[in-house]
Structure 1
Amino acid sequence: MPTIRDVSKLANVSVATVSRVINQSGYVNKETEEKVRQAMAVLQYVPSGMARSLAGKNSATIALIVPDILNPFFPELARAVEAEAQERGYTVILCNSDYNAEKEQNYFRVLASRRIDGIIIASNTIRPDQLLALQKQEIPVVVIDNQYPDLPILSLVSKNREGAKLAVRHLLEQDCRKIAHLSGPIDVTAARERSLGYEEEMQERGLFVPSLIAGGQFQIEGGYDAMLLLLERHPDLDGVFAGNDLMAVGALKALYKADRKVPQQVKLIGFDGIALSTVVPELTTVAQSITDMGRQATGYLMKMIQKEPVTRRTYELDVHLLIRQTTLTE
């Protein structure tokens, strides 16, 4: 393998000059820089990211840790993170934790040993002390879909509670009066906030009944099972707010199995706005801007990597209602 010394000999310059060209630090005239780059091309020399990080330079690599790569929300998020990172000259390492805290912690150890420049993480199992420990190691961290209001941790969340209220109001406007809720895992911040929004809106109108809520995982199977349970409890329900779009798709399958017509007999709304929500029938959903979330998370991370001033707090992103076939009867 060619070394930096081989490059310096071929270009007839010092090792220090080659280092300045590679790291873009210090002055090198254009003619000399071109000689160095030509020598690198001839030798097919690739600078070591590890060597640069050990020398105090950035490795130009960040990590994105997600809990479930099979959930379409996270590939869309990863695409946005990668696009923003590439525009800034960074590479992204994608890690899937499977909602496993031990696997997550192992990722932290490996990434720290590789001198990763920063981490974006979507997790409901990560503890605040773990995040603070990473920051003490000078590894910037941005959290997605979780928040720590009393700690100096930068996080991005959508307005989940407000979005849930938008969903309930829309179903009420469509003449639904017995509205059920398919709740995601209560230990997930987004699921908890969406459930609270549903409950508050229903209580305000005197329509809240605890047995109208059934829990499940943020997956198609979770929505399917929870929907069948709710139909047993309340066969006369006429509206359903699902905790995310995957659960809504599962609910749709269960409603078809029970021979309940959507939207004529039961109106259905999801949350997220993933591409899968455009299947037939197209799903009414509360959409969060997944692209904006990914790009903003990357932008904040870059500011911290580059030691630019940024306030480490929770940033909320707007949501909006996409009205489609599953709630419209006309």
Structure 2
Amino acid sequence: MATIKDVAKLAGVSTATVSRVINGKGEAAPETIEKIQKIVEELNYKPSSVAKSLSKRESNLIALLIPNLDNPFFSELVRTIEIAANKKGYQIYLCNSEDNREKVEYYLEAMADNYVMGAIINSLHVKEDDLERLEANGISTITIDRAQFSHAYSALAVDHIHGGYLATKHLIEVGGAKKIAFLSGPQDESSSQDRYQGYLRAVGEMDAEHIVKLYGAFDIQSGYETSYAYLANHPNIDGIVCSNDAMAYGVIRACADLGINIPQDIKVIGYDNTVNGKYSVPRLSTVSQFQPKLGDLIINELERVEKKNCKPKKYEVEPELVVRETTQKEKEIC
């Protein structure tokens, strides 16, 4: 029995294009439409009754595209969104791109093939053209956090400049840090750049000195290796602002191995408020950027646009400070 992939292969087009032509959605060149229709007839291809019903947006499947599962923030984000989706009777189709453009393209095609109702996108490698293609296929979209570009569709963005400012201001005001380092994620990561801007603003406003900007890869290993290499030769700093919790956990371990006491010798603050921060030694002060209730907001926005045919909305989230042991002043330690 012929499949939609057979038709696409013979026509030299994507399965998404075949789907649009068969369902009369979107635009294609007249010669492409004619070619696809001819192949469909020759192969006697007939979409299944299930596929037909799904193409009418009766699917209960929602695609969730994330950059990776190594960072605990994303695994917790998946769980939050899945709980919200399940409450509404939806299932999550998880797409782990591993921050790879080729994998992103594969999953974008797969979303159309699986007739998902909507797509939640968190990726630096998704372009506005990709969103337009999904929307043309009848798939409502909402971008969250990392996809911080201007587009015509639903979006939820975190004010990371404010988050970086909150973290740094707390480190200086409450922690008493004066000579501070910033541990960034990759240089091209926009949210990390925003956190750095907030950090610079706080340092500039207050009686503190920006010593160095270090780079990691948003994981524990890079946080450990980068901070260990620097602190082993530059013990003069008394505060580190980390772009995420994972790297902060690496910093905590590096300080332990170097005999540097937290928070007596150095104060450390993370970003994300992942669950492990409650149990690290010492417990990690951090910034919370994504509350559980936002999972409901994301699912509700997809439903609002898809089922009610409403105009997409933009949402901005204000991060919140979470104070624990890694930023306490020495006099507060019992």
Smaller-chain TM-score range?
Answer: 0.7 to 0.9
Q: Percent identical across equivalent pairs?
A: 33
Instruction: Say what the alpha-carbon RMSD is for the aligned residues.
Output: 2.0
Distance 2:88 2:294 in 1: 17
Report the alpha carbon displacement of residue 207 of structure 1 after superposing the two structures with TM: 4.2
Distance 1:304 1:171 in 2: 41
Aligned to 2:267: 267
Deviations 1:53-110 (A, max 9, x none): 14x2411111111111122112221122112212222111111111111101101101
CA contact (8 A) 1:78 1:294 kept: no
Aligned to 2:53: 52
CA contact (8 A) 2:65 2:97 kept: yes
Matched, 1:298 2:316: no
What are the within-5 Å matches in structure 2 for residues 26-65 of structure 1? 49-54=50-55, 56-65=56-65
CA contact (8 A) 1:77 1:293 kept: no
Q: Give the alignment's TM-score, normalised by structure 1.
A: 0.80
Distance 1:148 1:284 in 2: 26
Q: Find the residue that maps to 1:132 and give its secondary structure.
A: helix
1:150 and 1:289, CA in 2 relative to 1: closer, same or farther beyond 3 A?
closer
Q: Find the residue that maps to 1:271 and give its secondary structure.
A: coil
Aligned to 2:151: 151
Q: Match for 1:259: what amino acid?
A: G
Q: Match for 1:217: what amino acid?
A: A
Q: Find the residue that maps to 2:120 and give its secondary structure.
A: strand
Aligned to 1:26: none
Matched, 1:226 2:223: no
What are the within-5 Å matches in structure 2 for residues 155-166 of structure 1? 155-166=155-166
Aligned to 2:250: 250
Q: Find the residue that maps to 2:254 and give its secondary structure.
A: helix
Distance 2:110 2:321 in 1: 41
What are the within-5 Å matches in structure 2 for residues 47-196 of structure 1? 49-54=50-55, 56-148=56-148, 150-173=150-173, 174-196=175-197
Distance 1:57 1:93 in 2: 15
Q: Match for 2:131: what amino acid?
A: L
Structure 1 segments unaligned to the other structure (5+ residues): 1-46
Distance 2:229 2:272 in 1: 23
CA contact (8 A) 2:57 2:117 kept: no
Report the alpha carbon displacement of residue 148 of structure 1 after superposing the two structures with TM: 4.7
Distance 2:96 2:150 in 1: 28
Aligned to 1:33: none
Q: Give the alignment's TM-score, normalised by structure 2.
A: 0.79
CA contact (8 A) 1:128 1:148 kept: no
Deviations 1:114-136 (A, max 9, x none): 21111101111111221122122
Report the alpha carbon displacement of residue 164 of structure 1 after superposing the two structures with TM: 0.9
Say which one has the larger Rg.
1
Distance 2:232 2:214 in 1: 11
Distance 1:234 1:197 in 2: 24
Aligned to 1:201: 202
Aligned to 1:284: 285
Aligned to 1:216: 216
Report the alpha carbon displacement of residue 48 of structure 1 after superposing the two structures with TM: 6.6
Q: Find the residue that maps to 1:94 and give its secondary structure.
A: strand
1:95 and 1:149, CA in 2 relative to 1: closer, same or farther beyond 3 A?
closer
1:99 and 1:49, CA in 2 relative to 1: closer, same or farther beyond 3 A?
same
Structure 2 segments unaligned to the other structure (5+ residues): 1-47
Q: Match for 1:73: what amino acid?
A: F
Q: How many residues align?
A: 281
Deviations 1:264-305 (A, max 9, x none): 000110011110111231101111234233222222112122
1:143 and 1:231, CA in 2 relative to 1: closer, same or farther beyond 3 A?
same
